[in-house]
Structure formats: structure tokens, C-alpha cells
Amino acid sequence: MMQCQKMMAVVLDVVTEFIDGLVETYPGLQYLDGFPQVKVVLRADVPYAKYDKVAVISGGGSGHEPTHAGFVGEGMLTAAICGDVFSSPPVDSILAGIRAVTGPMGCLLIVKNYTGDRLNFGLAAEQAKSEGYEVETVIVGDDCALPPPRGIAGRRGLAGTVLVHKVAGAAAAAGLSLADVAAEAKSASEKVGTMGVALTVCTLPGQVTSDRLGPGKMELGLGIHGEPGAAVADLQPVDVVISHVLKEILSTETNYVPITRGGRVVLMVNGLGSTPLMELMIVAGKAVPKLQLEHGLAVDRVYTGSFMTSIDMAGFSISIMRADLPILQRLDAATKAPYWPVAVDGHRPPAKIPVPVPPSPSAKSDEPRSRPLQLNEQGQILEAAIEAAANAIINLKDSLNEWDSKVGDGDCGSTMYRGAKAILEDIKNYPLNDAAETVREIGSSIGRAMGGTSGIIYTIFFKAAYTQLKGSSHSGFTSKQWAEALAASIAAVSKYGGASAGYRTLLDALIPALLVLQKKLDIGNDPSTAFLLSSEAALAGAESTKHMQAQVTTYY
């Protein structure tokens, strides 16, 4: 292990090197050209953008191999989006993967419940929808180690996600619709629970292993990125540890997994990176009779191996899924994904030519968007409103930084300032007579300039508004259509960020503003009056957050 750590320390990009080796080993896999920014593994047999079944796409930070790329193959994932080690993949990579494999049947994104993954995959989903793709998303949180969470963090996505990949991939291979594939994946995610145990934390490439645990200690319920778990305890015999883990997963107090005595289950014993197969088989051999005798459950399937690791962590996790005939049929369905596991199939070709990265719609356009030679009335109003809003943000830069320094890292004003300046610089090229496209361009300016979580949130906001507006008349939008666009934006931010009213976020200002705006417009108030009253509601909503308990840390 020490030799391996020294060798990895000199590798400049372990993820791209890993992908190179993976596609050379398995002839059924290919990758998009675009290293190092775009790291996407896909099925070599899927024709670009012409796939006639639902595409199933997953991904996340690397370091959990064989998840996710090792589960790409017929009957499982159509593509995997690889981020850097323990880092969510960027939006552009996710979009490239969607564009490469999604045909008329649409695509399902399976996302582990981590903030970065939810936001980046969420923004990519909204962008893909605005381009005309059919996209559904299922969030998997199968962690059973911690008590029911407060706030929006929720349960972490762990090894049970692989079972969801298999169910969804088999459903897609059977020719089901996007709605039905998403429904089966969501149902599977609600039937599985996981808990891990480790003797060491993992070693990031080129770094020294943490000694957080110390000799003779084990950690219960830690995360796949080395996050602290439920408890640190003295090392116990494996029988005692397995009994504790099964009890936590099947707890009737948390009721995370809806399984009762007399039921049928699937068992997955997963190595976290450094646990020998011999030890994993010992765990499986002891877990099965405990499930049968201590919990009164029939074990229909047992999967043992390394499915979702944490680089070189010493330990294992156990996943339990409620079994029924449809679930078993999906799990038993044929797949060519190399690490389900299956044997290597076919002859390795002498060379592979990378698949070109699909161009974005803007790159395909023969006529780049630009400012109209003459603005109509709507264009003039829109330009004035955009400039006024951007200048107001610029003037608030120092105040926003000061307020943020009391609760955060003190850069909110600077981040907002960058976005506002980018909008003022780009407005000369906005198609202002087309309000929907202008909203889309504002989102692009923000996404390029702001960065960070806040940049993603505001970009999602504007992309969702564009998707709502683009289906309406381009000759001019009514006040109610603008209100509908605001409602769509709020819904998208809430969906992908996980917050709602009362979580002490920007939604506590936007939601009351929307409700007042809709109400006043419905009763026939003048739009200017309705907007003024809605802005007052927003101020009141912002003031109300003084008395709230913050339940999310990065939601400006």
C-alpha cells in the first residue's frame, strides 16, 4: 500500500489515467474526447444522440471505483460522468454526456444525495431541458447510520445506489418509457438502506493517510469521502459489528428501510477499497444467517465485492434492499457492465479513436445572438430593468460582504458583483427584443462569471425561467407569464438545492414575493402596483430570516 501511495503521488491526473486504462480493458466502453475537463465514459455501442431507449446516466466524484464508470454497459448505465477525486463533475461534462447518448426517449439522471452533485446535475438537467431533451432525475440517499436529519442535508448516497443503477438500467433495456424507468428507480431507492464500518480513513492521491481513528478503533457509519460517522468505538469481533449494522439498517425507529419480519431481501456486502475479498466473503457468510435467524428475513440474492469504494479505506458496508418479484427480475436481467460483475466480452481493438465532444446548441448556430439594430418597447423596458438591477447589486457590494462576514466567508458581495458586471458587459449582445432568449443569456453570463454554489443557484434560476418562457409568444409577455417564470425558477432552485420556505435562504424572500405578485395580478391590480407590493413582501420575508435557525450553509 505504501508503494502504491508513492506511485500515485506522481500522477498528475489520476482520473483521466484511470479512464484510459478502463476503456483499454473493456471493449464495450468508450469515452468522450475532451480531457482533462470532460471525463465521460459511455457505451461504445450507443449511436451518438440516436439511442432508441431511455438513457440512464449517473456520476459524481471519482475515487469510488468501480462506481460509476465500471457500471456502464448494456443493461445498466448508458454513460458515467466522472468528476475529479471526491469532487462533483462540472456542469459542462454532465451536459456533454447527456447530449452524447440521449435520444428521443429521454434520459434519467441518478444522483447521489450530496449538495455538489445535486446542484451540478440539477443545472445540467435544466440546461438540457431548455435544449429540448426529456430529462428526469432521481436522488438516492440510502445512508442509515445517522438519526433522521434536520435541515436539508438528508441521507447520503452510498453503495445502495449501485442497486438502483441496475434496476433502472434493466427497466430502460426492456424498452420502458422515461416516466416508468424513473418510477422504478425511485421505488428502488426507497427500498434500500446502507451502513458502513471502517478501520482507517482513505488516502487522497499524493497525501498522507489521516490517523483520525488511531490503533484499535473503528468508525461506524462514516461517509464514502471519509466524513465522520455516527460513532468511534473500540474494535469489536466481526459478528458483533455485523449484528449492530443490520440492527441499524432495519431499525423500526428510523424506519429507513420498510422491511418487516417475514419479508424478503437482497444483501450487498461492499468493500471500501482495502478489504480483501476473503474478509468480504466472511462478512457475507455471517450476515446471511443473522438476517434469517435474528430478523426473520429470507435472503433472495447476495452480492459480495467492491462496488462503491473510498479509494483505499479499510472496511466494508452492508446494503439491504426489500425484494419483490419485479426487483429481482431487474437485478437478474442480463448486463454487460464489467463490474456488476461480468466477464470481459469481445476482442480488444488495436486502437480506439475518442468520440468527439458534441457541440453545444450555440456552437451549432449559424447566426450568433446579438443586440437588435432597433429595440422595440419590450426591449427598451427589459434593458432598463436589467441595468437598474445590475447597478443596484454593484452598489451593494461592500454591504453584502459585510453582512456575509457575520454568517459566512464574507465574499457574497464580491460574487454578486462579478455576476452583475458580467451582465452589464454582455448586455450589448443580448437579443433584448426576445425576452426569453435574453433571460437565457443572463443565466449564461452569471454561470461564466460567478462560479461557486451561488453561481450555480442563480444560473438554475434563469435557466428554469427561460424554459418556462420559451413556450410562450415572443411578441411580448404578460405580467402573469413573468410571474409563471418566477414560479418555475423558485421551484427549480428548491428542487435542486433542497430548501423551501423556513430554511433561512433566498427562498424566504422570493416565495412571499411570488405569492403576493400572483394574488395581486389575479384580482386585477395594475402590474406596477403588484410588483411594488411583491417587493415589499420580499423585504418582509428577508427580515423574517433573522429569527430562523439556518438549515443550510451555502444558499445565497
Please give the positions annotated as active site.
225
**How, if at all, do strands 192-198 and 315-322 pair?**
antiparallel
> Does 61 appear as a known binding residue?
yes
Q: Is 546 annotated as a binding residue?
A: no
SS3 label, residue 499: coil
Helix (H) or strand (E) holding 536: helix 527-544
DSSP, res 549: P
12 and 74 in contact (C-beta within 8 Å)? no
> Between vectors from CA 160 to CA 288 and to CA 205, what angle results, nearest 5°?
110
For 10-45, give the secondary structure using H, E and C.
Answer: CCCCHHHHHHHHHHHHCCCEEEECCCCCCCEEEECC
79-85 and 231-234 beta bridge pairing = unpaired
What CA–CA distance (Å, rounded) separates 526 from 479?
10
Helix (H, G, I), strand (E, B) or coil at 543: helix
Output Rg (C-alpha) for the chain, integer angstroms. Answer: 25
Has 117 been labeled as part of a binding site?
yes
Quote the CA–CA distance of 520 and 203 in Å, as a whole number: 58
Beta-carbon contacts of residue 369 (< 8 Å; ≥ 6 apart): 362, 429, 430, 431, 437, 441
63 assigned to a ligand binding site: yes
Cα gap 305→64, rounded to integer Å: 13
53 annotated as belonging to a binding site for a ligand: no
- C-alpha cell at position 300: 433472495
| Annotation: binding site | 61-64, 112, 117
| Annotation: binding site for substrate | 61-64, 112, 117
